[in-house]
Structure 1
Amino acid sequence: MSTNTEIKKNYQFIKFKKLVIVSVIIGFLSAFLGIVLKNATEYYESIFFHRAETNAVFFIIFPFFGLSIIYFLRQYLFKKKENKGIKEIFESVSSKTKNLPSYKIPSHFINGLLTVVSGGSTGIEVSTVVATATIGAVAQRKHNMFRQYKTELICAGIAAGITVLFSSPIAGILFSLEVISKKLTRTFILTTGIAVIIASALSFLLHEKPLFAVNITTWHLKAIPYFILLGVLSAIYSIYLTRCVLFFKSYFSKINEPYYKIIVGSVLLSISFFIFPQLYGEGYHAIKTVIFNSNDTTLTLSLALTFFGITILKPIATSATLAAGGDGGVFAPSLFIGAFLGLLLALLLNRYTNADVIPLNFMIIGMAAVLSASIHAPFTALFLVCGLTNNYTLFFPILIVCLISKYTAKMIYPFTVYNYSPSLVK
């Protein structure tokens, strides 16, 4: 008995040691991929966007050029298979036979980069999530001992990727738990914990900075009713975004010729960019333009119409991008819509009700609220936005508004772009 017990203990120790080692490797590779993709996208997007600003004809050329390259890469390099985004991960973790093939790493990396750089009105977050999930899936297949930990190792890769994108290890863990795993185990804690520690260390060594480091000093209790209003509006906008994406994908699926999809999508994007150049790419450049001066912004009719138009057209531009073959998801669009929705609401309240609210606070809370409602993950949205801004002053109001927006959205329309299936509504 003692010999059997000792053998069992030794086996458990060896398994633990190997899980630690593989988690370190997954964390490093996923973080490295995320950092490279983030910086490459930001660098080249700014170059392409500046070129289009100086010569508007590129607002027509770039989307068509980018979507065409993505199509040819899929046809001749990536096995003629479209990227399904996070649904690919769901299919993998829920099945013992379906796996994320290794070509998904370069496929999502290259296509995500091309999509955003050429103006696709989405972000690299979903591309990063699927690519890093594939790193975990490939590692899981390398050793028989890891076969039973498929979900945990996939989540470790995802958590590391989210950590470096948003400077928030907690958001990485929570996204893996709330959206992918939905089950907390000791192995999950071990693998994702190690992966995000490695990712955080790599971010620190490479001096990665939060995307929107802002100085938030206070918030007022009198603003709570207005925060609740923002939560409800965010839920409505998230449903609008979700329904737009689903509608466009359904409509474009009826177009048999792939190049017609590219042409229609490119035309819609070009028109959007001509009306509002802020819709080009991820849109983070547009958020940065207004976020640091938001408290000094004066509302005018033209500004109000601009912000309203941006929040209405962004879901359409995002949907056209994805339906035409672009790679991405609703992370960046949700943050973008939330920022401008929050700012517009704050300016309207100050102008017409003398509410004296802080516009910057509404931008930050709006970002979290729309994201929470779009992916049904309030705690992920909370820590993700706090990490993005490197500020936790608004922790409590963000938490309340994220919960309100999620459950309001779920009550009105129970699906997200990730869990929707036509069979569920029959």
Structure 2
Amino acid sequence: MRKERIVFDYRHYFLRSVVFLYYHLGENGFLILLGVVTGLVTGVGAGAMKLGAARLSEFAPYLREHGWLLPALLLPAAGLAGAFLLGRLLLRRRPATSLSWVIYDLQEKQPEMSWLETFSHIFTSAVTVGLGGSAGLETPSVLTGAAIGSKTGWLCRLSVDKRGTLMVCGTAAGISAVFGSPIAGALFALEVVFPRQARRRLVPILLSSAGAAIIAELIFGSGSMFKVPSAPWPFHSLPYFILLGILCAFVGVYIIQLNYHFGNRLKKAFPNRWVRLGIGCAGLAGLLWLFPILAGDGYNFVQMLFSGADKNHLQSWNHGCNLLLLSLAAVLLKVVGTVFTLECGGDGGIFAPTMFTGAFTGFLLARLVNDFTGLELSEANFVAAGMCGVFTSSLRAPLTGIFLIVEVTGDFMLMIPLMIVSGLSYFTAKFFEPYSVYTKVLGEKHLIEAIPLQQINRHTPVGDAIETDFSAVGAQTPLAELRATGESAKITYLPVIDANRKLLGIVMPDRLAAATDPKLTAAALMMEPLLTLSPKDDANKAQISFEIYGLDYLPVIDGGKFIGFVPKTRFEPAPAAGEATA
């Protein structure tokens, strides 16, 4: 009884403190305080994750130096198996490895994450990435931050909406802590995780991101993540930045498609998790034996590109075509290693692989142009721009891509090229693939709501939304009858048709209300349809037509005959709860 009494008192006084702070700080002030707490705790967790991965990454060079080549080759597979066993046996379950379901839970107003997620990624991702798994620490850091935010809100008995806000704060803090980039962290929450919620709670998100960046600086020191030689970009390089933006779009689409389809193939071909673990270990070991540069997050190799690609692993390939082939392999195969890592038991994210792939994409283009045209493009500039472009096209976060690269390189001179590459890669990729690497799985399962229509109903035919309870009139119908019909009709647009159901025109409600001459007929009042749709047209075309013409209904014609209207309301996503009152 004594022990139970102590627990009760602890909770009682804690909740009294919550009420006291909430009352004196107000809703916004209290959320800001909890956002800062979330950011600070997330910063500590992300720091521990990075330190653990850094220490474990020292094993492979040590083994190679002492001639233990086979154990060094098997380390990534050991990391994969270690993370799998840690999640399955010790932690009783495998932690999430993607932001997809966090995005979905926030949209569905279910901001609940387990206590496991607040610490498990610190261990499993450090083991996976530190021992050579082909993934990054950013997604685990973001998931850790989201879980910390969720549980902070739960402890304080906050509403679902406010817990969602703290989850978004945690995601921003996760990016900020890993990269030391508070602006990019906040923008990531705005663009990727939950845009509508993030805009309403901008201040807590900004301060949470700043708090995580402060912790990261205390642990790792100040300074940019990459050491980049500062070089101006001449005007004659502008066409090649444009070309790079388009190229990065296709690379991003390739990453999204391969990540989704190859991952699904592995799951279907090897439904047993233990068998899939074995396949992943073998596949990853073989891939890294052929191309060691695919190990880990790859940021050390990106730094080599910034420095001139003249060190260790890249030096032996630095002979013209050989280096180009290596770069091409890095662009095409990094995501393969990532899928082996994440789908077969490891813990990590797609974040770092997109930046690694983008770096080699930019380097490959610049080196090809320099070799075959005689120009002297700054390869470092194109490495940075490529990172921005592939990141943007894969995650659909143009502003995050721009400011992330600026913050991790410390080079503001590239702002204009980054804007060009980011914008072109974003819109080009969106044309060919409507989903990001995180929302692809949600879109294919039709789980995404309240997002742009071209992503929800892109392939839905107009025929599924036709309303046929209209009131048709003839061309000689008098004004009095038109008004009587309009008052009783569900659809106030009155179609004027002939005996063969050919659409002659439409009597609009405003023209009908303004008519005063009783001798007027439908033929005098009707307007020719500005646009007609076919039942086979997709919803994307309908939405665009409604937006351009500003109409509430559009007529549908099939085989020359009028068959009904489609309403604008069927092609508008419902606003998120709370947005209308924001």
| TM-score, L = length of structure 1 | 0.91
Cα drift, residue 168 of structure 1: 1.4
Aligned pair 1:79/2:92, yes or no?
yes
- Pick one of 428, 445, 448 that aligns with 1:423: 445
1:184 Cα deviation after fit: 5.9
Does 1:308 pair with 2:328? yes
Q: Aligned partners of 1:138 and 1:57: how far apart in 2?
A: 43
In structure 2, the residue matched to 1:274 is: 289
- Give the deviation of 1:299 after TM superposition: 5.6
Counterpart amino acid of residue 196 in structure 2: K
- Within a 5 Å distance, the mapping from 1:145-156 to structure 2 comes to 145-156=158-169
Residue among 121, 131, 155 paired with 1:118: 131
Residue 252, structure 1, aligned to residue 266, structure 2: yes
Say which is worse superposed, 202-211 or 272-281, in terms of deviation: 202-211
For 1:356, which of 368, 372, 376 is the aligned residue?
Answer: 376
Alignment of 1:236-247 (within 5 A): 236-247=250-261
- Tell me what 2:342 maps to: 322
- The verdict on how the C-alpha distance between 1:192 and 1:97 changes in structure 2, with shifts beyond 3 A counting, is closer
Distance 2:427 2:159 in 1: 37
Measured in 2, the distance between the counterparts of 1:73 and 1:203 equals 26
CA–CA separation in structure 2 for the residues paired with 1:244 and 1:15: 44
Task: Find the partner of 1:286 among 301, 325, 328.
Answer: 301
Q: Which runs of 5+ in 1 are unaligned?
A: 1-9
The answer to whether the Cα contact below 8 Å between 2:165 and 2:197 also exists between their aligned partners in 1 is no
Partner residue, 2:206: 193
Q: Give 2:13's aligned residue.
A: none
Q: In 1, Cα distance between the equivalents of 2:300 and 2:25?
A: 49
Tell me the SS of whatever aligns to 1:401. helix
Q: Structure 1 CA distance, aligned partners of 2:138 and 2:187?
A: 15
Based on CA coordinates, which of the two structures has the bigger radius of gyration? Answer: 2
- Residue 28 (str. 1) matches residue 48 (str. 2): no
**For each residue in 1:49-92, what CA deviation from the matched residue of structure 2 results, as whole angstroms up to 9, or x when unmatched?**
55357533135422332222222222223333452420231132
Q: How far apart are the structure 2 equivalents of 1:63 and 1:294?
A: 24
Contact 1:49 1:280 in 2 (8 A): no
Instruction: Name the SS of the counterpart of 1:219 in structure 2.
Output: coil
- Structure-2 residue corresponding to 1:173: 186
The 1:342–1:151 alpha-carbon spacing in structure 2 relative to 1, beyond 3 Å, is same
Separation in 2, partners of 1:366, 1:241: 14
CA contact (8 A) 1:299 1:351 kept: no
User: Bigger CA drift: 73-82 or 246-255?
Assistant: 73-82
* Percent identical residues: 28
Contact 1:234 1:369 in 2 (8 A): yes
* SS, match of residue 115 in structure 2: coil
Amino acid at match of 2:223: K
- With over 3 angstroms needed to count, the CA separation of the structure-2 counterparts of 1:205 and 1:234, relative to structure 1, is same
**Partner of residue 6, structure 1:** none
The farther-off stretch of 143-152 and 117-126 is 143-152
Please report how far the alpha carbon of residue 42 of structure 1 lies from its aligned counterpart in structure 2 after TM superposition.
2.4
* Alignment equivalent of 2:142, drawn from 116, 125, 129: 129
User: Which is helix-richer, 1 or 2?
Assistant: 1
Aligned mate of 2:175, from 162, 173, 190: 162
Aligned CA distance change for structure 1 residues 229 and 173 (closer, same or farther; 3 Å): same
**Structure 1 residue 164: Cα displacement:** 2.1
TM-score w.r.t. length of structure 2:
0.68
Bigger relative contact order, structure 1 or 2, given CA contacts below 8 A and separation 6+?
1
Unaligned runs of 5+ in 2: 1-21, 447-457, 460-582
Q: How far did 1:232 drift? A: 1.3
Question: Within 1, Cα distance between the matches of 2:41 and 2:363?
Answer: 37
Distance 2:369 2:32 in 1: 52
Q: Distance in 2 between matches of 1:205 and 1:67?
A: 30
Q: Which moved more, 1:101-110 or 1:117-126?
A: 101-110
In structure 1, C-alpha distance between the alignment counterparts of 2:344 and 2:102, rounded to whole Å: 21
Partner of 2:245: 231
Q: How many residues align?
A: 417
RMSD of aligned alpha carbons: 2.3
Contact 1:160 1:199 in 2 (8 A): yes
Identify the residue that residue 45 of structure 1 maps to in structure 2. Answer: 57
Instruction: Give the conservation status (yes or no) of the 8 Å contact 2:363–2:379.
Output: yes
User: Which of the numbers 191, 212, 215 marks the counterpart of 2:229?
Assistant: 215
Question: d(CA) in 2 for partners of 1:266 and 1:204?
Answer: 35
How far does residue 158 in structure 1 lie from its aligned partner after superposition?
1.6
